[in-house]
Structure 1
Amino acid sequence: MAREQAPVKPVAPEPRAARQPLRQEVVDGIKTYILSNKLRPGDPLPTEPALCEALGASRSSVREAIRILTALDIVEVRHGYGTYVGRLSLSALVESLTFRGLLSPDDDFQVMSDLIEVRELFERGMAERLVGALGGEEADRLQVFVDTMRAAGAGDAHDFMAADRSFHAQLVAPLGNDLIGQLSAAFWEVYVIVAPHLDVFTSEHGDTTVANHQRIVDAVRARDAGEFAAALRDHYEPVRQRIAEARARR
């Protein structure tokens, strides 16, 4: 349930010499209000006139600041209801990486390489924690995704990729770390948008991908962190190699 908004206190201005542009002052003032009142996603923000009075800013400046913070998912405008603290997701990161990946033939391969490296870093670096956190029920869920990938094969790339994505989301879910979960989801958002523009993934690689995912599940069941990490390494290495080969063909 959204909490009631706290009284709006005027934000003390910075010394003139140290001041930032007015737009950034208003953006920072709204963020300061959220932090000082310990607001959570879904909590209401003050009305526009109240923010104007507290920040000593015009309506146009406040509205511009709200637009900036909305783009960053820090605030959410619900038309007819008001302005609320946003989901604080990584949507801005997704947009930035996706645009970079689509902007030029060189950047798209670099984005893909960076994403693969960071995803592997997360999963392999936490092998022991993940194997310890993943129980029998989680292993059963992972197996369902592997079976879906196997059934989809080369004939249904959409279902194959959706199952692959769900597999890796389930892999880190038991950690209960929202940031890791959001980052994993953000990487996949960029991946599914940029990957189709590259001549990297072909049907012949489906069997290898399924086999490596099956190894990961088997390692979870065996509580074998070493095999778990090795399976992840063998899963990501061919992907990096195919990216490098496709980049060389450009």
Structure 2
Amino acid sequence: MSEDVQAQIKQLILQRGLTPGDPLPTEADLVGLLDVSRNSVREALKALQAMRIVEIRHGFGTYVGPLTLEPFVEGVAFRAAVRHHQGEASLYELMEVREALEAGLIGAVARDLPAEDLAVLKGLVQRMAEEARGGEVQSATDRAFHLALYRSLGNHLLSEVLDAFWAALRRVREDLSDDRPDPEVTYRQHREIVDALEAGDGDRAVEAIHRHFDGIRRRLAE
């Protein structure tokens, strides 16, 4: 019953053209609209909240949620951690998926990278250089770099998926106390990617991406 009610609530969101942050009908109104029990509505809303489809604000009402891929990230990261403890190569698999996506896309980026996006990437690499001198490249800087890298492709879902794999790999490595990379190497690898993009050299950019992931591969092996 709960899954049926979830489907009806999602259909209602679509039919009314609601977007993140828009209010949903009250619990009592949903009971009447969907002709189901109050408990069924509550169970369905709790399940949808776990998927970030709705957001329950106690004392205020229920709203369309942020619709992020966070539940996917949590699921993928936990799956990788569990299988890693079982002796499986789950971290390699997670890294290989991310590497395949990025290496497959970087050539298209190199062919038509807007000057403003190149400027953003160069600025982030400069920040990495400064952070490396301080002893650690911040994860927020690395994340911002990889988000900016594919922005010019104009595919929001693709950006979210790439970011989800970045976050999942980072999260599981932190949970497993993976050793931190050499900050100077991290900086140089990202600079090589930007240098190749500035030269408009797609093949060189692909090679730079693979070298970047080779470093992650070596650390996982260790």
CA deviations 1:99-150 (Å, max 9, x no partner) are 2244464369744323322222222112232123422222222122222222
Contact residue 101 and residue 108 of structure 1 kept, 8 A = no
Matched-pair identity in %: 37
* Counterpart for residue 173 of structure 1: 151
- With a CA cutoff of 8 Å and minimum separation of 6, indicate the structure with the bigger relative contact order: 2
CA distance in 1, matches of 2:185, 2:91: 19
Deviates more, 1:94-103 or 1:84-93: 94-103
CA distance in 1, matches of 2:164, 2:118: 23
1:131 to 96, 99, 110: 110
CA RMSD of superposed structures (Å): 2.3
* Counterpart for residue 192 of structure 2: 215
Deviates more, 1:90-99 or 1:132-141: 132-141
CA distance in 2, matches of 1:202, 1:81: 43
Q: CA deviation at 1:209?
A: 2.6
* Counterpart for residue 164 of structure 1: 142
Change (3 A) 1:199 1:109: farther
1:233 to 206, 210, 220: 210
What's the secondary structure of 1:114's corresponding residue? helix
Contact residue 136 and residue 221 of structure 1 kept, 8 A = no
TM-score, length of structure 2 as denominator length: 0.87
What's the secondary structure of 1:126's corresponding residue? helix
What amino acid does structure 2 have at the position aligned with 1:213? H
Contact residue 110 and residue 201 of structure 2 kept, 8 A = yes
Question: Which of the pair has more CA radius of gyration?
Answer: 1
| Number of residue pairs matched by the alignment | 222
Q: CA deviation at 1:80?
A: 3.3
Contact residue 102 and residue 194 of structure 1 kept, 8 A = yes
What's the secondary structure of 1:233's corresponding residue? helix
Deviates more, 1:42-51 or 1:211-220: 42-51
Q: Which runs of 5+ in 2 are unaligned?
A: none
Alignment of 1:13-162 (within 5 A): 22-103=1-82, 105-106=84-85, 110-153=89-132, 155-157=134-136, 159-162=137-140
TM-score, length of structure 1 as denominator length: 0.79
Q: CA deviation at 1:200?
A: 4.5
Q: CA deviation at 1:155?
A: 5.0
CA distance in 1, matches of 2:124, 2:174: 21
CA distance in 1, matches of 2:80, 2:214: 21
Change (3 A) 1:131 1:109: farther
